Structure 1
Amino acid sequence: MPHSPPSSPLSTAAAPMVVDGHAHVFLKDMPLAGTRRYAPSHDATPADYLGLLDAHRVTHGVLVQPSFLGTGNDYLLAALRAHPQRLRGVVMLDPQTDEVELAALNTAGVVGVRLNLVGQPLPDLDAPQWQGFLARLKALDWHLELHRQAADLPPLLDAALRAGCRIVVDHFGRPDAGQAQADPGFAALLQRAASGRVWVKLSAAYRNGPDANAARACASQLLTAFGPERLVWGSDWPHTQHEQLADYGTSLAALTDWVPDAAQRARILGATAAELFHLPAFPQS
Protein backbone atom coordinates (compact mmCIF):
# COMPACT_ATOMS: atom_id res chain seq x y z
CA MET A 1 0.00 0.00 0.00
CA PRO A 2 1.33 3.47 -0.80
CA HIS A 3 2.73 5.39 2.12
CA SER A 4 1.76 8.98 2.81
CA PRO A 5 2.81 11.47 5.47
CA PRO A 6 0.35 12.17 8.27
CA SER A 7 -0.02 15.86 7.51
CA SER A 8 -2.97 17.08 5.44
CA PRO A 9 -2.42 19.05 2.20
CA LEU A 10 -5.41 21.20 3.14
CA SER A 11 -5.14 24.30 5.25
CA THR A 12 -7.09 23.96 8.48
CA ALA A 13 -7.01 27.75 8.73
CA ALA A 14 -8.96 27.95 5.45
CA ALA A 15 -11.18 24.99 6.34
CA PRO A 16 -11.48 24.50 10.11
CA MET A 17 -14.12 21.88 9.47
CA VAL A 18 -12.99 18.98 7.29
CA VAL A 19 -15.51 16.20 6.70
CA ASP A 20 -14.81 12.78 5.23
CA GLY A 21 -18.15 11.88 3.68
CA HIS A 22 -17.52 8.20 2.89
CA ALA A 23 -15.72 5.51 4.89
CA HIS A 24 -16.45 2.00 6.15
CA VAL A 25 -15.88 0.10 9.39
CA PHE A 26 -16.12 -3.67 9.83
CA LEU A 27 -14.51 -6.79 11.26
CA LYS A 28 -13.48 -9.64 8.99
CA ASP A 29 -15.30 -12.23 11.10
CA MET A 30 -18.67 -10.45 11.10
CA PRO A 31 -21.71 -12.21 9.57
CA LEU A 32 -21.82 -11.42 5.86
CA ALA A 33 -24.73 -10.84 3.51
CA GLY A 34 -25.76 -13.90 1.53
CA THR A 35 -25.38 -12.05 -1.76
CA ARG A 36 -22.14 -10.12 -1.91
CA ARG A 37 -19.26 -9.25 -4.25
CA TYR A 38 -16.52 -9.16 -1.61
CA ALA A 39 -15.53 -10.61 1.76
CA PRO A 40 -12.97 -8.70 3.85
CA SER A 41 -9.69 -10.30 4.89
CA HIS A 42 -8.83 -7.64 7.46
CA ASP A 43 -10.48 -5.46 10.10
CA ALA A 44 -11.30 -1.77 9.64
CA THR A 45 -12.15 -0.57 13.13
CA PRO A 46 -13.55 2.77 14.33
CA ALA A 47 -10.35 3.26 16.34
CA ASP A 48 -8.26 2.83 13.18
CA TYR A 49 -10.47 5.26 11.32
CA LEU A 50 -10.49 7.92 14.02
CA GLY A 51 -6.71 7.67 14.22
CA LEU A 52 -6.51 8.47 10.51
CA LEU A 53 -8.88 11.41 10.92
CA ASP A 54 -6.66 12.77 13.69
CA ALA A 55 -3.46 12.23 11.71
CA HIS A 56 -4.83 14.11 8.71
CA ARG A 57 -6.65 16.83 10.66
CA VAL A 58 -10.06 15.68 9.46
CA THR A 59 -12.65 16.77 11.99
CA HIS A 60 -15.68 14.59 11.15
CA GLY A 61 -16.49 11.36 9.35
CA VAL A 62 -19.47 9.66 7.74
CA LEU A 63 -19.60 5.88 8.05
CA VAL A 64 -21.36 4.11 5.19
CA GLN A 65 -22.65 0.57 5.62
CA PRO A 66 -20.62 -1.75 3.35
CA SER A 67 -22.72 -3.88 1.02
CA PHE A 68 -21.16 -7.14 2.23
CA LEU A 69 -22.77 -6.61 5.67
CA GLY A 70 -26.24 -6.05 4.23
CA THR A 71 -28.74 -4.56 6.68
CA GLY A 72 -26.75 -5.67 9.74
CA ASN A 73 -25.92 -2.12 10.83
CA ASP A 74 -25.07 -2.82 14.49
CA TYR A 75 -21.29 -2.29 14.26
CA LEU A 76 -21.72 1.05 12.48
CA LEU A 77 -24.39 2.16 14.96
CA ALA A 78 -22.16 1.34 17.92
CA ALA A 79 -19.47 3.62 16.47
CA LEU A 80 -21.99 6.44 16.02
CA ARG A 81 -23.20 6.13 19.60
CA ALA A 82 -19.63 6.18 20.89
CA HIS A 83 -18.76 9.36 18.95
CA PRO A 84 -22.00 11.32 18.52
CA GLN A 85 -20.39 14.69 17.86
CA ARG A 86 -17.85 13.46 15.33
CA LEU A 87 -19.49 10.68 13.30
CA ARG A 88 -22.64 10.27 11.23
CA GLY A 89 -23.91 7.18 9.48
CA VAL A 90 -25.54 5.96 6.28
CA VAL A 91 -27.19 2.56 6.72
CA MET A 92 -28.74 -0.13 4.55
CA LEU A 93 -32.39 -0.87 5.32
CA ASP A 94 -35.39 -2.82 4.11
CA PRO A 95 -37.86 -0.40 2.49
CA GLN A 96 -40.53 -1.62 4.88
CA THR A 97 -38.68 -0.05 7.82
CA ASP A 98 -41.22 2.00 9.74
CA GLU A 99 -41.18 5.44 11.34
CA VAL A 100 -40.43 4.11 14.83
CA GLU A 101 -37.22 2.35 13.77
CA LEU A 102 -36.20 5.27 11.58
CA ALA A 103 -36.67 7.67 14.49
CA ALA A 104 -34.39 5.53 16.68
CA LEU A 105 -31.76 5.45 13.94
CA ASN A 106 -32.05 9.21 13.55
CA THR A 107 -31.36 9.64 17.25
CA ALA A 108 -28.30 7.40 16.89
CA GLY A 109 -26.81 9.70 14.22
CA VAL A 110 -28.00 8.13 10.98
CA VAL A 111 -28.54 10.66 8.19
CA GLY A 112 -29.21 8.52 5.12
CA VAL A 113 -29.89 5.14 3.53
CA ARG A 114 -27.65 3.55 0.96
CA LEU A 115 -28.73 1.53 -2.04
CA ASN A 116 -25.61 -0.25 -3.28
CA LEU A 117 -26.99 -1.61 -6.54
CA VAL A 118 -23.76 -2.64 -8.25
CA GLY A 119 -24.37 -6.14 -9.55
CA GLN A 120 -27.95 -6.11 -8.23
CA PRO A 121 -31.34 -5.95 -9.98
CA LEU A 122 -32.62 -2.40 -10.22
CA PRO A 123 -35.52 -1.70 -7.85
CA ASP A 124 -38.63 0.09 -9.06
CA LEU A 125 -38.38 3.20 -6.92
CA ASP A 126 -41.75 4.35 -8.28
CA ALA A 127 -43.45 1.36 -6.63
CA PRO A 128 -45.69 2.34 -3.68
CA GLN A 129 -43.47 0.55 -1.16
CA TRP A 130 -40.43 2.53 -2.24
CA GLN A 131 -42.23 5.84 -2.61
CA GLY A 132 -43.58 5.44 0.92
CA PHE A 133 -40.12 4.64 2.24
CA LEU A 134 -38.57 7.63 0.46
CA ALA A 135 -41.28 9.85 1.89
CA ARG A 136 -40.28 8.68 5.37
CA LEU A 137 -36.65 9.55 4.59
CA LYS A 138 -37.73 12.99 3.37
CA ALA A 139 -39.64 13.60 6.61
CA LEU A 140 -36.36 13.10 8.52
CA ASP A 141 -34.37 15.19 6.03
CA TRP A 142 -32.27 12.11 5.28
CA HIS A 143 -30.78 11.40 1.89
CA LEU A 144 -30.92 8.37 -0.37
CA GLU A 145 -27.42 7.32 -1.43
CA LEU A 146 -27.17 5.61 -4.81
CA HIS A 147 -24.25 3.46 -5.92
CA ARG A 148 -24.65 2.23 -9.47
CA GLN A 149 -22.98 2.62 -12.85
CA ALA A 150 -23.86 5.92 -14.53
CA ALA A 151 -25.76 4.27 -17.38
CA ASP A 152 -28.44 3.06 -14.96
CA LEU A 153 -28.74 6.19 -12.82
CA PRO A 154 -31.38 8.24 -14.72
CA PRO A 155 -34.52 6.21 -13.81
CA LEU A 156 -33.32 5.84 -10.21
CA LEU A 157 -32.65 9.56 -9.89
CA ASP A 158 -35.96 10.54 -11.45
CA ALA A 159 -38.02 8.24 -9.23
CA ALA A 160 -36.23 9.46 -6.11
CA LEU A 161 -36.70 13.07 -7.19
CA ARG A 162 -40.42 12.44 -7.60
CA ALA A 163 -40.47 11.35 -3.96
CA GLY A 164 -38.95 14.68 -2.99
CA CYS A 165 -36.02 13.39 -0.95
CA ARG A 166 -32.38 14.38 -1.15
CA ILE A 167 -30.14 12.15 -3.26
CA VAL A 168 -26.41 11.51 -2.93
CA VAL A 169 -24.62 9.77 -5.80
CA ASP A 170 -21.52 7.76 -4.96
CA HIS A 171 -18.07 7.90 -6.52
CA PHE A 172 -18.44 10.53 -9.28
CA GLY A 173 -21.58 8.74 -10.51
CA ARG A 174 -19.53 5.72 -11.65
CA PRO A 175 -18.97 6.74 -15.30
CA ASP A 176 -17.76 4.01 -17.60
CA ALA A 177 -13.97 3.70 -17.58
CA GLY A 178 -13.78 3.81 -21.38
CA GLN A 179 -15.99 6.88 -21.71
CA ALA A 180 -15.41 8.92 -18.52
CA GLN A 181 -17.06 12.33 -18.91
CA ALA A 182 -18.42 11.28 -22.33
CA ASP A 183 -20.60 8.58 -20.71
CA PRO A 184 -24.24 9.44 -21.52
CA GLY A 185 -25.24 8.37 -18.01
CA PHE A 186 -22.75 10.84 -16.56
CA ALA A 187 -24.18 13.55 -18.81
CA ALA A 188 -27.65 12.68 -17.50
CA LEU A 189 -26.39 13.03 -13.94
CA LEU A 190 -25.09 16.52 -14.77
CA GLN A 191 -28.52 17.43 -16.13
CA ARG A 192 -30.15 16.47 -12.79
CA ALA A 193 -28.11 19.15 -11.04
CA ALA A 194 -30.86 21.62 -11.91
CA SER A 195 -33.19 19.82 -9.49
CA GLY A 196 -31.27 21.27 -6.55
CA ARG A 197 -31.71 18.01 -4.65
CA VAL A 198 -28.82 15.89 -5.95
CA TRP A 199 -25.35 15.79 -4.37
CA VAL A 200 -22.33 13.87 -5.73
CA LYS A 201 -19.39 12.39 -3.83
CA LEU A 202 -15.93 13.14 -5.15
CA SER A 203 -14.52 9.85 -3.98
CA ALA A 204 -12.86 6.63 -5.11
CA ALA A 205 -11.99 7.69 -8.65
CA TYR A 206 -9.98 4.45 -8.85
CA ARG A 207 -13.28 2.55 -9.00
CA ASN A 208 -13.98 4.24 -12.35
CA GLY A 209 -10.65 3.39 -13.98
CA PRO A 210 -6.98 4.29 -13.61
CA ASP A 211 -6.91 7.48 -15.72
CA ALA A 212 -6.21 10.47 -13.47
CA ASN A 213 -6.95 12.85 -16.34
CA ALA A 214 -10.42 11.34 -16.73
CA ALA A 215 -11.11 11.80 -13.02
CA ARG A 216 -9.96 15.42 -13.25
CA ALA A 217 -12.20 16.07 -16.26
CA CYS A 218 -15.20 14.49 -14.56
CA ALA A 219 -14.58 16.51 -11.41
CA SER A 220 -14.40 19.71 -13.45
CA GLN A 221 -17.75 19.00 -15.08
CA LEU A 222 -19.34 18.09 -11.75
CA LEU A 223 -18.04 21.30 -10.21
CA THR A 224 -19.44 23.35 -13.08
CA ALA A 225 -22.85 21.66 -12.90
CA PHE A 226 -23.33 21.25 -9.14
CA GLY A 227 -21.00 23.84 -7.64
CA PRO A 228 -19.25 23.31 -4.30
CA GLU A 229 -22.65 23.63 -2.61
CA ARG A 230 -23.63 20.11 -3.71
CA LEU A 231 -20.37 18.20 -3.84
CA VAL A 232 -18.80 16.34 -0.92
CA TRP A 233 -15.52 14.48 -0.55
CA GLY A 234 -15.01 10.95 0.75
CA SER A 235 -11.88 8.93 1.43
CA ASP A 236 -13.53 5.56 0.67
CA TRP A 237 -11.35 4.14 3.47
CA PRO A 238 -10.25 1.34 3.70
CA HIS A 239 -10.42 1.27 -0.11
CA THR A 240 -11.78 -2.30 -0.33
CA GLN A 241 -10.50 -4.23 -3.36
CA HIS A 242 -8.27 -1.26 -4.24
CA GLU A 243 -5.97 -1.12 -1.21
CA GLN A 244 -2.91 -1.20 -3.45
CA LEU A 245 -4.01 1.97 -5.26
CA ALA A 246 -4.72 4.35 -2.40
CA ASP A 247 -4.34 5.16 1.26
CA TYR A 248 -5.93 7.89 3.34
CA GLY A 249 -3.37 10.53 2.44
CA THR A 250 -3.55 9.96 -1.31
CA SER A 251 -7.36 10.05 -1.18
CA LEU A 252 -7.30 13.39 0.60
CA ALA A 253 -4.60 14.81 -1.69
CA ALA A 254 -6.68 13.86 -4.73
CA LEU A 255 -9.25 16.49 -3.83
CA THR A 256 -6.68 19.23 -4.42
CA ASP A 257 -6.14 17.83 -7.91
CA TRP A 258 -9.86 17.61 -8.62
CA VAL A 259 -10.78 20.99 -7.08
CA PRO A 260 -7.76 23.33 -7.35
CA ASP A 261 -9.50 26.34 -5.80
CA ALA A 262 -8.95 26.41 -2.01
CA ALA A 263 -12.19 28.29 -1.27
CA GLN A 264 -14.23 25.74 -3.20
CA ARG A 265 -12.49 22.87 -1.38
CA ALA A 266 -13.21 24.53 1.95
CA ARG A 267 -16.90 24.74 1.04
CA ILE A 268 -17.02 21.10 -0.09
CA LEU A 269 -15.24 19.84 3.02
CA GLY A 270 -16.98 22.16 5.46
CA ALA A 271 -20.33 23.91 5.07
CA THR A 272 -21.71 21.68 2.32
CA ALA A 273 -20.90 18.47 4.17
CA ALA A 274 -22.04 19.85 7.53
CA GLU A 275 -25.47 20.73 6.18
CA LEU A 276 -25.98 17.51 4.22
CA PHE A 277 -24.82 15.19 7.00
CA HIS A 278 -26.39 17.13 9.93
CA LEU A 279 -23.07 17.78 11.62
CA PRO A 280 -22.25 20.29 14.37
CA ALA A 281 -20.26 23.29 13.29
CA PHE A 282 -17.06 22.30 15.09
CA PRO A 283 -15.60 19.02 16.38
CA GLN A 284 -16.08 18.14 20.03
CA SER A 285 -14.43 15.43 22.10
Structure 2
Amino acid sequence: MIFDTHAHVFVRGLPLAQHCRYVPDYDATPEDYIAHLDRFGIDMGILVQPSFLGTDNHYMLEALRRYPTRFRGVAVVEPGIAHAELDAMAESGVIGIRLNLIGTALPDLTLPAWQKLFGHIKALGWHVELHREARDLPDLIRPLLKAEVKIVVDHFGLPSQEYQQDDPGFQFLLKHAATHKIWLKLSGAYRNGNPATADKNVAPLIPLLLQEFGTSHLLWGSDWPHTRFENAFNYQKAFDLFKHQIPEEKIRQEILSIGARLLID
Protein backbone atom coordinates (compact mmCIF):
# COMPACT_ATOMS: atom_id res chain seq x y z
CA MET A 1 0.00 0.00 0.00
CA ILE A 2 1.05 3.58 -0.70
CA PHE A 3 0.54 6.20 2.01
CA ASP A 4 0.33 9.95 2.36
CA THR A 5 1.00 10.34 6.08
CA HIS A 6 0.08 13.99 6.66
CA ALA A 7 -3.05 15.85 5.62
CA HIS A 8 -5.89 17.78 7.26
CA VAL A 9 -9.63 17.91 6.67
CA PHE A 10 -11.99 20.62 7.90
CA VAL A 11 -14.86 22.88 6.91
CA ARG A 12 -15.75 26.41 7.87
CA GLY A 13 -17.91 26.78 10.95
CA LEU A 14 -16.36 24.07 13.12
CA PRO A 15 -15.66 24.94 16.78
CA LEU A 16 -12.22 26.52 17.04
CA ALA A 17 -9.48 26.17 19.62
CA GLN A 18 -9.11 29.05 22.08
CA HIS A 19 -5.90 30.42 20.60
CA CYS A 20 -5.45 30.01 16.84
CA ARG A 21 -2.40 31.08 14.86
CA TYR A 22 -4.36 30.72 11.63
CA VAL A 23 -7.90 29.77 10.58
CA PRO A 24 -8.54 28.90 6.89
CA ASP A 25 -11.48 30.57 5.15
CA TYR A 26 -12.24 27.59 2.89
CA ASP A 27 -13.30 23.94 3.14
CA ALA A 28 -10.96 20.96 2.78
CA THR A 29 -13.30 17.99 2.79
CA PRO A 30 -12.49 14.27 2.92
CA GLU A 31 -13.88 13.96 -0.59
CA ASP A 32 -11.55 16.71 -1.85
CA TYR A 33 -8.62 14.86 -0.33
CA ILE A 34 -9.63 11.46 -1.72
CA ALA A 35 -9.69 13.02 -5.18
CA HIS A 36 -6.00 13.89 -4.75
CA LEU A 37 -5.17 10.42 -3.42
CA ASP A 38 -6.88 8.81 -6.39
CA ARG A 39 -5.14 11.07 -8.88
CA PHE A 40 -1.69 10.18 -7.51
CA GLY A 41 -2.37 6.48 -6.97
CA ILE A 42 -2.20 6.67 -3.18
CA ASP A 43 -4.13 4.04 -1.25
CA MET A 44 -4.44 5.57 2.19
CA GLY A 45 -4.11 8.98 3.83
CA ILE A 46 -3.38 9.71 7.46
CA LEU A 47 -5.48 12.62 8.69
CA VAL A 48 -3.85 14.81 11.31
CA GLN A 49 -6.02 16.95 13.56
CA PRO A 50 -5.23 20.60 12.67
CA SER A 51 -4.12 22.97 15.42
CA PHE A 52 -7.00 25.40 14.99
CA LEU A 53 -9.57 22.73 15.90
CA GLY A 54 -7.86 21.87 19.18
CA THR A 55 -9.12 18.71 20.87
CA ASP A 56 -12.48 18.66 19.10
CA ASN A 57 -11.69 15.73 16.82
CA HIS A 58 -15.27 14.98 15.75
CA TYR A 59 -14.98 16.06 12.11
CA MET A 60 -11.87 13.93 11.56
CA LEU A 61 -13.46 10.98 13.36
CA GLU A 62 -16.51 11.22 11.13
CA ALA A 63 -14.22 11.07 8.09
CA LEU A 64 -12.48 7.97 9.47
CA ARG A 65 -15.79 6.21 10.03
CA ARG A 66 -17.10 7.20 6.61
CA TYR A 67 -13.99 6.05 4.71
CA PRO A 68 -12.40 3.27 6.79
CA THR A 69 -10.40 1.84 3.89
CA ARG A 70 -8.91 5.19 2.86
CA PHE A 71 -8.04 6.94 6.14
CA ARG A 72 -6.34 6.55 9.47
CA GLY A 73 -6.17 9.42 11.97
CA VAL A 74 -4.00 11.24 14.48
CA ALA A 75 -5.96 13.02 17.22
CA VAL A 76 -5.18 15.89 19.58
CA VAL A 77 -6.17 15.14 23.17
CA GLU A 78 -5.77 16.42 26.72
CA PRO A 79 -3.41 14.37 28.90
CA GLY A 80 -6.26 13.47 31.26
CA ILE A 81 -8.50 11.96 28.58
CA ALA A 82 -10.32 8.80 29.66
CA HIS A 83 -8.90 5.55 28.38
CA ALA A 84 -12.37 4.54 27.18
CA GLU A 85 -12.43 7.57 24.88
CA LEU A 86 -9.05 6.60 23.44
CA ASP A 87 -10.30 3.05 22.91
CA ALA A 88 -13.33 4.39 21.02
CA MET A 89 -11.03 6.48 18.83
CA ALA A 90 -8.97 3.39 18.09
CA GLU A 91 -12.12 1.62 16.93
CA SER A 92 -12.73 4.52 14.53
CA GLY A 93 -9.24 4.29 13.01
CA VAL A 94 -7.09 6.60 15.13
CA ILE A 95 -3.47 5.43 15.33
CA GLY A 96 -1.78 8.18 17.35
CA ILE A 97 -1.92 11.54 19.08
CA ARG A 98 -0.28 14.77 18.06
CA LEU A 99 1.44 17.27 20.31
CA ASN A 100 1.25 20.47 18.29
CA LEU A 101 3.60 22.64 20.31
CA ILE A 102 4.47 25.47 17.92
CA GLY A 103 4.19 28.74 19.83
CA THR A 104 3.26 27.11 23.14
CA ALA A 105 5.04 26.48 26.43
CA LEU A 106 6.96 23.22 26.45
CA PRO A 107 5.04 20.60 28.48
CA ASP A 108 6.74 18.44 31.08
CA LEU A 109 6.13 14.98 29.68
CA THR A 110 7.54 13.35 32.80
CA LEU A 111 4.47 14.38 34.84
CA PRO A 112 2.18 11.53 35.97
CA ALA A 113 -0.77 12.56 33.78
CA TRP A 114 1.34 12.39 30.64
CA GLN A 115 3.04 9.16 31.67
CA LYS A 116 -0.33 7.53 32.34
CA LEU A 117 -1.50 8.63 28.89
CA PHE A 118 1.64 7.29 27.24
CA GLY A 119 1.15 3.95 29.00
CA HIS A 120 -2.20 3.56 27.28
CA ILE A 121 -0.82 4.88 23.98
CA LYS A 122 1.78 2.12 24.13
CA ALA A 123 -0.87 -0.49 24.92
CA LEU A 124 -2.89 0.61 21.90
CA GLY A 125 0.16 0.46 19.65
CA TRP A 126 -0.23 4.15 18.79
CA HIS A 127 2.45 6.75 18.23
CA VAL A 128 3.04 10.24 19.62
CA GLU A 129 3.58 12.86 16.93
CA LEU A 130 5.67 15.96 17.66
CA HIS A 131 5.37 19.31 15.94
CA ARG A 132 8.06 21.52 17.45
CA GLU A 133 11.31 23.18 16.45
CA ALA A 134 14.34 20.88 16.53
CA ARG A 135 15.99 22.73 19.40
CA ASP A 136 13.32 21.47 21.81
CA LEU A 137 12.94 17.94 20.50
CA PRO A 138 15.48 16.33 22.88
CA ASP A 139 13.47 17.38 25.95
CA LEU A 140 10.34 15.89 24.39
CA ILE A 141 11.80 12.73 22.93
CA ARG A 142 13.73 11.53 25.98
CA PRO A 143 10.64 10.90 28.16
CA LEU A 144 8.82 9.39 25.17
CA LEU A 145 11.65 6.94 24.59
CA LYS A 146 11.54 6.08 28.28
CA ALA A 147 7.79 5.46 27.95
CA GLU A 148 8.60 3.11 25.04
CA VAL A 149 6.07 4.62 22.63
CA LYS A 150 6.52 5.06 18.92
CA ILE A 151 7.47 8.64 18.02
CA VAL A 152 6.82 10.59 14.81
CA VAL A 153 8.53 13.92 14.15
CA ASP A 154 6.84 16.34 11.76
CA HIS A 155 8.25 18.36 8.87
CA PHE A 156 11.92 17.29 8.72
CA GLY A 157 12.26 18.06 12.45
CA LEU A 158 12.15 21.82 11.85
CA PRO A 159 15.86 22.58 12.31
CA SER A 160 16.81 26.25 12.29
CA GLN A 161 17.72 27.71 8.94
CA GLU A 162 20.87 29.14 10.49
CA TYR A 163 22.29 25.73 11.39
CA GLN A 164 20.24 23.33 9.19
CA GLN A 165 21.84 19.86 9.50
CA ASP A 166 24.12 21.11 12.29
CA ASP A 167 21.18 22.11 14.49
CA PRO A 168 21.80 20.25 17.79
CA GLY A 169 18.18 19.06 17.88
CA PHE A 170 18.47 17.61 14.38
CA GLN A 171 21.74 15.94 15.31
CA PHE A 172 19.93 14.43 18.32
CA LEU A 173 17.38 12.93 15.93
CA LEU A 174 20.09 11.40 13.77
CA LYS A 175 21.86 9.95 16.79
CA HIS A 176 18.65 8.38 18.14
CA ALA A 177 17.49 6.91 14.84
CA ALA A 178 19.19 3.70 15.97
CA THR A 179 16.50 3.23 18.63
CA HIS A 180 14.07 2.34 15.80
CA LYS A 181 11.36 4.08 17.83
CA ILE A 182 11.41 7.35 15.84
CA TRP A 183 9.89 8.04 12.42
CA LEU A 184 10.43 11.33 10.60
CA LYS A 185 8.17 12.95 8.02
CA LEU A 186 9.49 14.32 4.77
CA SER A 187 6.77 16.95 4.64
CA GLY A 188 6.18 20.68 4.74
CA ALA A 189 9.59 21.74 3.44
CA TYR A 190 8.11 25.22 3.03
CA ARG A 191 7.67 25.33 6.81
CA ASN A 192 11.43 25.13 7.23
CA GLY A 193 12.14 28.58 5.85
CA ASN A 194 11.20 30.60 2.80
CA PRO A 195 8.45 28.75 0.88
CA ALA A 196 10.01 29.98 -2.37
CA THR A 197 13.13 27.92 -1.55
CA ALA A 198 11.41 24.83 -0.15
CA ASP A 199 13.87 22.40 -1.73
CA LYS A 200 16.92 24.36 -0.61
CA ASN A 201 15.50 24.57 2.92
CA VAL A 202 15.85 20.84 3.48
CA ALA A 203 18.25 19.56 0.80
CA PRO A 204 21.23 19.13 3.20
CA LEU A 205 19.06 17.07 5.57
CA ILE A 206 17.90 14.35 3.20
CA PRO A 207 21.15 12.35 2.68
CA LEU A 208 21.69 12.26 6.44
CA LEU A 209 18.12 11.14 7.10
CA LEU A 210 18.38 8.36 4.53
CA GLN A 211 21.69 7.25 5.99
CA GLU A 212 20.54 7.14 9.63
CA PHE A 213 16.81 6.37 9.43
CA GLY A 214 16.68 4.32 6.26
CA THR A 215 13.50 3.99 4.26
CA SER A 216 11.75 2.03 7.03
CA HIS A 217 11.55 5.02 9.37
CA LEU A 218 10.97 7.86 6.93
CA LEU A 219 7.47 8.90 5.89
CA TRP A 220 6.14 11.14 3.16
CA GLY A 221 3.33 13.59 3.78
CA SER A 222 1.73 16.03 1.36
CA ASP A 223 0.69 18.39 4.17
CA TRP A 224 -2.48 19.03 2.13
CA PRO A 225 -4.12 21.57 2.00
CA HIS A 226 -0.87 23.37 2.95
CA THR A 227 -2.46 25.69 5.54
CA ARG A 228 -0.91 29.18 5.55
CA PHE A 229 0.94 28.28 2.34
CA GLU A 230 -2.02 27.64 0.04
CA ASN A 231 -0.85 30.28 -2.44
CA ALA A 232 2.64 28.82 -2.67
CA PHE A 233 1.93 25.06 -2.77
CA ASN A 234 -0.54 22.44 -3.94
CA TYR A 235 -0.64 18.64 -4.04
CA GLN A 236 1.11 18.43 -7.40
CA LYS A 237 3.98 20.63 -6.25
CA ALA A 238 4.32 18.69 -3.01
CA PHE A 239 4.53 15.36 -4.83
CA ASP A 240 6.88 16.72 -7.50
CA LEU A 241 9.17 18.05 -4.78
CA PHE A 242 9.27 14.61 -3.16
CA LYS A 243 10.19 13.02 -6.51
CA HIS A 244 12.94 15.61 -6.96
CA GLN A 245 14.29 15.07 -3.44
CA ILE A 246 14.19 11.27 -3.74
CA PRO A 247 14.91 10.63 -7.45
CA GLU A 248 15.45 6.86 -7.10
CA GLU A 249 12.04 5.26 -7.65
CA LYS A 250 12.81 2.18 -5.52
CA ILE A 251 13.76 4.30 -2.51
CA ARG A 252 10.77 6.57 -3.07
CA GLN A 253 8.36 3.63 -3.18
CA GLU A 254 9.83 2.20 0.01
CA ILE A 255 9.34 5.51 1.83
CA LEU A 256 5.75 5.65 0.58
CA SER A 257 4.95 2.19 1.89
CA ILE A 258 7.25 0.49 4.40
CA GLY A 259 7.52 3.15 7.11
CA ALA A 260 3.80 3.82 7.36
CA ARG A 261 3.01 0.10 7.40
CA LEU A 262 5.41 -0.44 10.31
CA LEU A 263 3.97 2.55 12.13
CA ILE A 264 0.36 1.36 11.78
CA ASP A 265 1.13 -2.27 12.60
State TM-score, norm by structure 2: 0.96
For the pair 1:145 / 2:129, whether they are aligned, the reply is yes
For the pair 1:173 / 2:157, whether they are aligned, the reply is yes
**CA contact 2:130–2:154 (8 Å) conserved in 1:** yes
Q: Which has the higher contact order (CA 8 A, sep 6+)?
A: 1
**CA contact 1:115–1:147 (8 Å) conserved in 2:** yes
**CA contact 2:45–2:71 (8 Å) conserved in 1:** yes
**CA contact 1:23–1:62 (8 Å) conserved in 2:** yes
3-state DSSP of counterpart to 1:112: strand
Structure 1, gaps ≥5 residues long: 1-16, 279-285
The aligned counterpart of 2:10 is 26
What's the CA shift string for 1:95-144, capped at 9, x where partnerless? 11122111111010000000000001111011111111111100011000
Residue 85 of structure 1 deviates from its aligned partner by 1.2
The aligned counterpart of 2:249 is 262
> Alignment RMSD, CA only?
1.1
The aligned counterpart of 1:100 is 84
The aligned counterpart of 1:51 is 35
Residues 113-122 or 49-58, more deviating: 49-58
The aligned counterpart of 1:231 is 218
The aligned counterpart of 1:5 is none
3-state DSSP of counterpart to 1:32: coil
**CA contact 1:215–1:258 (8 Å) conserved in 2:** no
3-state DSSP of counterpart to 2:204: helix
Aligned length: 262
Structure 2, gaps ≥5 residues long: none
Q: Show the 5 A alignment for 1:69-84.
A: 69-84=53-68
Residue 272 of structure 1 deviates from its aligned partner by 1.8
After TM superposition, the runs of 4+ consecutive aligned structure 1 residues lying more than 3 A away are none
Residue 179 of structure 1 deviates from its aligned partner by 2.1
What's the CA shift string for 1:237-260, capped at 9, x where partnerless? 000001122110111122222222
The AA in structure 2 aligned to 1:81 is: R
State TM-score, norm by structure 1: 0.89
The AA in structure 1 aligned to 2:206 is: A
Q: Measure, in 2, the Cα distance between the counterparts of 1:259 and 1:127.
A: 40
Q: Measure, in 2, the Cα distance between the counterparts of 1:55 and 1:157.
A: 36
Q: Measure, in 2, the Cα distance between the counterparts of 1:255 and 1:135.
A: 35
Picking from 100, 109, 133, the partner of 2:117 is: 133
**CA contact 1:220–1:259 (8 Å) conserved in 2:** no
Residue 268 of structure 1 deviates from its aligned partner by 1.0
**CA contact 2:219–2:259 (8 Å) conserved in 1:** yes
Picking from 11, 22, 34, the partner of 1:38 is: 22
The AA in structure 2 aligned to 1:261 is: E
Q: Measure, in 2, the Cα distance between the counterparts of 1:198 and 1:266.
A: 20
For the pair 1:91 / 2:78, whether they are aligned, the reply is no
Residues 175-184 or 103-112, more deviating: 175-184
Q: Measure, in 1, the Cα distance between the counterparts of 2:155 and 2:259.
A: 17
Q: Which has the higher helix share?
A: 2
**CA contact 1:216–1:257 (8 Å) conserved in 2:** no
Residue 209 of structure 1 deviates from its aligned partner by 1.2
